[in-house]
Structure formats: structure tokens, C-alpha cells
Amino acid sequence: MSAEIVQASEIVTLIGPVEVSSEVLTESLSLGTHIFAVDGGADQALARGLRPEVVLGDFDSMSESARNELSSARFVHTENQHRTDFDKALSQLAAPLILAIGFTGKRLDHELAVYNALLANAGRAVVVVGAVDICFHLKGPLELQTEPGTRVSLFPMAEVACKSTGLLWPTDHLNFAPWGRVGTSNEAAAESFTLTPSGPGMLVILPRAMLAQVAAALTLSR
């Protein structure tokens, strides 16, 4: 039986269980006003005075009080223990863009699984928002306006090449791989830069200050 797909017509803020700062929450909600939660993220949302419209996961970490308080919400339950709740949520959520908060900064194995899920659900437009950085999978050509000196890191999750313009260190001649060449701590050398991957597998990591710009670019590229 196929998993239920939740359709959203606008940008979604997807809240996970890891505590987020007020700044990250406010910034994300200014872009994604539809609030969804993953399992224990429902408790975090309620603690911040927010009521998720949809809660996804296997519900093994959501409190009974949260379940009772959100009795009117839509619950999308998936029991598959071979996949993380974040991975399952991405596969079941179709939206112009998903801003994922509350998934980084605690257990390293969980955070690595988050980046794995970005590749496993490459058809979804997702930005993982952390306290310092944002991260997203580069699905196709992308152009961003920025200030020279802005950090632009490329981290491959597969063998992949990536053409670029406007970066301090050009990447056209490089072959990236997680066991070989990576592209951390490059930077913008002009007021805009472009990235064009040869295929799937490249993660882009930028300062959180770029979130609004990235959200607009990813939404328009769909």
C-alpha cells in the first residue's frame, strides 16, 4: 500500500524535535507560514505556542499530551523502522519548498541521516536550516545574488562535478566525491554566483543569512 502524500500549495516550515532558537523559528515562519511537525517536533511546536496543521512520523517520541492537544490536526502515520521520521516525512510531503528546522545540532548520527534523506528524496525542494548554516541538495542550475566574500561550501554525497561562475576558486575542472575532493570554504568573488551540477549528489552549504534568497531561488526553479 502506497504511503499517503500530503499536498501543500505554499512553503512549509517542518519542525523537528531538536530545540531551535527564536531567531531560526521566526525567520523560517516568515517564509513558510504553514506549520508541519515530525513526531516529537509536535511537542516543540506546542511549547512555542504553535499548532501544526499536520504531524508526520511513527509517533514514538511525541508525548501523549501533545497528541491529545492536537486532536484536530492531521496525523500521517508511517511505521517503517528502517527509515528515519525525517526521511519518511520528506517522501510523504509535496510542497513548493520545505524549510526543515529542529533537525541539526544534537546527535551526529541523526544529523548525518538528515543529509542522506536530502539525497533519498532528491525530487523534493528542501532547505535544512541550522543555527549557523543552511544546507540543500543542488538539483540543477542555480544562480544566487550575494556579497563578495560570502562562504560557499560544496559537499558531495556522490561522485559529481559542478561548474561554477563567480566563485573565488573555480570548480569547473574538479571531480568531487565524498571519499575524495570536497569543496568546503569556497567563497563568492562577485555579486552573484552560479552552480551547475553534472547530476545528483551535491549539497550546498551557505550562511543562514542567505535563507530568504535561497528560498526564493529554489521556489522559482521548480
Give me the CATH topology for the region 6-131.
Rossmann fold (3.40.50)
Q: What are phi and psi of 147, to 5 degrees?
A: -95, 140
Predicted local distance difference test score (pLDDT) of residue 80 = 64
Q: Are 41 and 102 in contact (CB under 8 A)?
A: yes
Give CB contacts under 8 A, 24+ apart, made by 178-183. 181/156, 182/154, 182/155, 182/156, 183/153, 183/154, 183/155, 183/156
- Rounded to an integer, what distance in angstroms lies between the CA atom of residue 9 and that of residue 168? 38
**Hey, CA dihedral for 25, 29, 31, 36, is it positive or negative?**
positive
Q: Please state the CATH superfamily assignment of the domain spanning residues 142-206 in this structure.
A: Thiamin pyrophosphokinase, thiamin-binding domain (2.60.120.320)
- Rounded to an integer, what distance in angstroms lies between the CA atom of residue 205 and that of residue 115? 11
Residue type for position 198: S
**Hey, CA dihedral for 145, 190, 200, 27, is it positive or negative?**
negative
Predicted local distance difference test score (pLDDT) of residue 2 = 44
The residue whose grid cell reads 525542494 is 125
**What pTM value is reported for the model?**
0.94
> Which residues, in sequence order, are bridge partners of residue 128?
100, 135
Predicted local distance difference test score (pLDDT) of residue 23 = 96
- Rounded to an integer, what distance in angstroms lies between the CA atom of residue 104 and that of residue 117? 13
Classified as helix, coil or strand, 83 is coil
Q: Are 100 and 128 in contact (CB under 8 A)?
A: yes
Predicted local distance difference test score (pLDDT) of residue 16 = 94
Q: Give the angle subtended at the CA of 36 by the CAs of 20 and 90, to the nearest 5°.
A: 95
Predicted local distance difference test score (pLDDT) of residue 73 = 75
Equal fold, 6-131 vs 142-206: no
Predicted local distance difference test score (pLDDT) of residue 76 = 83
Residue 44 CB-half CA count within 13 A:
23
Sequence spans of domains, the chain:
6-131, 142-206
Predicted local distance difference test score (pLDDT) of residue 6 = 86
Residue type for position 115: Y
Predicted local distance difference test score (pLDDT) of residue 1 = 31
- Rounded to an integer, what distance in angstroms lies between the CA atom of residue 207 and that of residue 47? 27
Q: What is the pLDDT along the chain (222 residues), one digit of tens a residue?
A: 346 888 889 999 999 999 999 999 999 999 999 999 998 899 999 999 999 999 988 877 788 888 888 877 788 877 766 788 899 899 999 999 999 999 999 899 999 999 999 999 999 999 999 999 999 999 999 999 999 999 999 999 999 999 999 999 999 999 999 999 999 999 999 999 999 999 999 999 999 999 999 999 999 876
- Rounded to an integer, what distance in angstroms lies between the CA atom of residue 5 and that of residue 23? 30
